[in-house]
Amino acid sequence: MIITIVIWIIQLLFVPLASPLCIGIIRKIKARFQNRQGASVFQPYFDLWKLLHKDEVISKDASWIFEFAPYIVFTSTLVVGMSIPLVAGFINNNAGDMLVIICTLSIGTFFLALAGIDTGSGFGGFGASREMTMAALAEGGFIFSLLTMAVINNTTNLFMISQHGTVVHSQFFLSTMLAFFGFIIVMLAETARFPFDNPATHLELTMIHEAMILEYSGKKLALMEWASANKLLIFFALGSNLFFPVGIAQTPTFWGLGIGIAALAIKILLFCLAIAILESSVAKFRFFRLPDLLLISFIVNVVAIILIF
């Protein structure tokens, strides 16, 4: 009973508390690659604290969508964070269905795009247009990458998928690796990372996500930035515990829970390192080249499913 309560507390708090640290680690590693000292890995926490204590400036043309979108976007990431396997795969969570997770994330994306165009600014308009274009093209690859694991394990429940810790050593190894490759491409698109977007710029020709939140300030901007970090960590957790569910707790013991937490931390650090290396090695692609990359993700995932049969 106690161990179950501890796991649910972790499910509730881990994503919002740890996500800014992931952003800080990625920035720190990128700074090291550029021969810079870089800010502290805890700087994102300081930034959020600062924004939460600042006043807001809201356009007179903004409607209720602009007001409530940050809360909806942030809440959607909290709900998904509670509904995916983080450190334990044995708990019974009916909300952890593959399609429920995808649809919940899509709700956040939808309101983010609506908020971008709500004030009528040019930046928000083209940012929302680009975001929905990328989301529409990435959705197929995202569904099929998770569907590959669902077909292999005969279930769409992510917790039950994570219970099969030896899937990468089975006869479906090639399908799993292809699905993981397709998932990585989708992850970069959904989280606004290179080569799809540059999270550190406000240049008109390069920004997508930043263009949609350009009108926000103060507490609402903090929620938007926090939600973006949450989404990145959610994709890290999905990639870690669905394709490589090694170390995730399968029994309700504190020893297994400790191993699960350590394994998740190590895998997330590896994801942060990989993202930092990628963003230090490649440039952002031109917008009209991005659909080709997402099409590759979709085709790779389709091939992964075909190979299962």
pLDDT tens digits along 178-217: 999 999 999 999 998 888 888 877 666 667 888 888 889 9
Dist. CA 106–CA 151, nearest whole Å: 22
Percent of the chain past pLDDT 90, that is, above it, reads 56
Give residue limits of the domains in the chain. Answer: 2-308
Q: What is the pLDDT of residues 12-55, one digit of tens each?
A: 899 999 999 999 999 999 999 989 998 999 999 999 999 999 99
Question: Tokens at residue 44, please?
Answer: 């994102």
- Give, as one character, the DSSP assignment of residue 192: T
Dist. CA 189–CA 292, nearest whole Å: 12
Q: 3-class DSSP state for residue 88? A: strand
Q: What is the pLDDT of residues 76-87, one digit of tens each?
A: 999 999 999 998
Q: What is the mean pLDDT of residues 268-284?
A: 92
pTM of the model: 0.94
- Beta carbons of 209 and 198 less than 8 angstroms apart: no
pLDDT band at 3, cuts 50/70/90? confident
Question: CA-based angle 121:111:287, to the nearest 5?
Answer: 60
What are the angstrom distances between the C-alpha of 130 and each of 135, 243, 251? 9, 29, 44
Question: Tokens at residue 304, please?
Answer: 């992964």
Helix 218-243 and helix 64-82, axial crossing angle in degrees, nearest 10: 30
Listed in sequence order, the residues at least 6 apart from 185 whose beta carbon sits closer than 8 Å to its beta carbon are 141, 293, 294, 296, 297
Residue 146 pLDDT: 94
Higher pLDDT, 154 or 166: 154
Residue 108 has pLDDT above 90, yes or no: yes
pLDDT band at 173, cuts 50/70/90? confident
Q: What is the pLDDT of residues 208-259, one digit of tens each?
A: 888 888 889 999 999 999 999 999 999 999 999 999 888 888 888 888 889 9
Residue 309 pLDDT: 80
CA nearest neighbour of 134 among 20, 306, 304, 287: 287
- The half-sphere exposure of 211 on its side-chain side, counting CA atoms within 13 A, is 25
